[in-house]
Amino acid sequence: MKKIGILTYHNVQNEGALLQVISTYRALKRLFPNADVEVIDYTPLSTFVSLIRGRLSLRHIGRAIAYNRRHYLFKKCRENNLNLSRKCIVTNSYLHAIKSIKDQFDIIVVGSDEVWKIEKGKRARPFPNLYWLGEIGDTKKVAYAASANKTAYRENDDDKKSLIKKYLSSFDLLSVRDTHTIEMAEYSGVTNKIEKIPDPTFVLNFKPLDVKSKLRRIGLCLNKPMVGITLFDSEISCALYQYYSAKGYQVLGLSFYNEHCDFNMYDKLDPLEWASLISMLTVFVTNRFHGVIFSMKTDTPFYCIDETNNYGKYESKIERLLKDCNLYNDYYSVYDKDLHVGDVISRIDRIIDKHNTEQIKSFLDNNRNDGIQFLKKIGSL
């Protein structure tokens, strides 16, 4: 019986991050029922410290309490839906991390998510780290929709480029989630075949959970239409709240605290419940990549407001996703100064009235098939 390890982001308070590893885990269990599949419980020390700081914040006691409630929801979701390795690896030492998993698995699948993003700053993950793997004995190495999202790879010095080439060239199967990561690999001298593969959540056979009783306890009226919002921009959030409240909608803040809403769901739902709530919304206004994907999967009208300003000349992952689906008209960047809030609301109303279901269904089917076909190749390793 082969032992397969999954190495990705799982210990973070982000719905999309946890949903993508649940998707990968379930897909591997379904495709290889006789294999022993587990998620390697690895967290860089810098990431772990950031998580602890959020839980112990004394500057905003109320938010710290909510953060801890959210932490518990995510922890239970991981425990209930993943087979985590017994050994927990928390370190910034690349060599220590490699030693911890060497010769422990027949196959290690790295990804998805931004595992190859190279950051700067005191709280950044060190480079290299375990997500790049390296000398791990006879273990086969697979990169599954890995991403270096936002990495300014042209600023890498020759030593860093050489290490990227060394690590990525050692993978037996190499796939990434975006063109940006392909460009980084090629710029660093990687000549292996690199496949562009959709995010693992496209492969997930998702059936929304019944969260109605929980929503009623929170105070929602399920007979009234609901607008979900995940936005940082206070001006847009306020305008959306005032407009849709006046029309009789309930406005829900998802994923993080939003002062302009009727109900904050930030610390009320685990990731699978979050995705299930999306299926009940009249429309979802989101700045999240996986918010868009689960709107598609649940046939929920959505409008994307991209708030990321650190892509520079690079295309954002949400922008690329909507272009691939020919839904770029459902996209707005807050840095587009030619479009005003009133225009955004008009576009959202049009999306509610005319939602392109068939176009999205075809896109989902194609992406799901591409992901499954790639994962099947693991069986030949």
Q: Is the pLDDT of residue 12 over 70?
A: yes
331-333 and 3-7 strand pairing: unpaired
Find all residues with CB under 8 Å of 377, minimum gap 6, and list them.
173
Work out the mean pLDDT of the chain and round it to a whole number.
Answer: 90
Q: Which domains occur in the chain, in start order?
A: 3-204+366-380 (3.40.50), 212-297+302-354 (3.40.50.2000)
| pTM recorded for the entire structure | 0.93
pLDDT, position 220 = 95
Which residue did the predictor score with more confidence, 375 or 123? 375
Burial of 62 (0-12, 13-18, 19+ CB in 10 A): exposed
- Does residue 225 have a cis peptide bond before it, meaning omega lies within 30 degrees of 0? no
- pLDDT of 158 strictly over 70: yes
Tens digits of per-residue pLDDT, 225-283? 999 999 988 888 999 999 999 999 999 999 988 999 999 999 999 999 999 999 999 99
Question: Over the stretch 13-63, which tens digit does the pLDDT of each residue have?
Answer: 899 999 999 999 999 999 999 999 999 999 988 877 776 766 666 566 767
- Residue 59's pLDDT is what? 61
Q: Determine if the peptide bond prior to 112 is cis (ω within 30°).
A: yes
Spatial separation of the C-alpha atoms in residues 183 and 251, rounded to whole Å: 40
Q: Which pLDDT score is estimated for 304?
A: 87
**pLDDT tens-digit profile of 318-358?**
888 888 888 776 666 656 666 688 888 988 998 888 777 77
Residue 175's SS3 state is strand
Residue 132 DSSP code: G
pLDDT of residue 336: 65
Q: Cα separation of 171 and 316, whole Å?
A: 26
51-94 pLDDT per residue, tens = 676 666 656 676 778 888 998 999 999 999 999 999 999 999 99
DSSP state of 68: H
Could you give the percent of the chain with pLDDT greater than 70?
92
Label residue 105 by pLDDT band (50, 70, 90).
very high
Count of CB atoms situated within 10 Å of the CB of 328: 13
Q: What is the pLDDT of residue 183?
A: 92
- Token pair for 281: 């919304």
Residue 321, H or E segment: helix 317-324
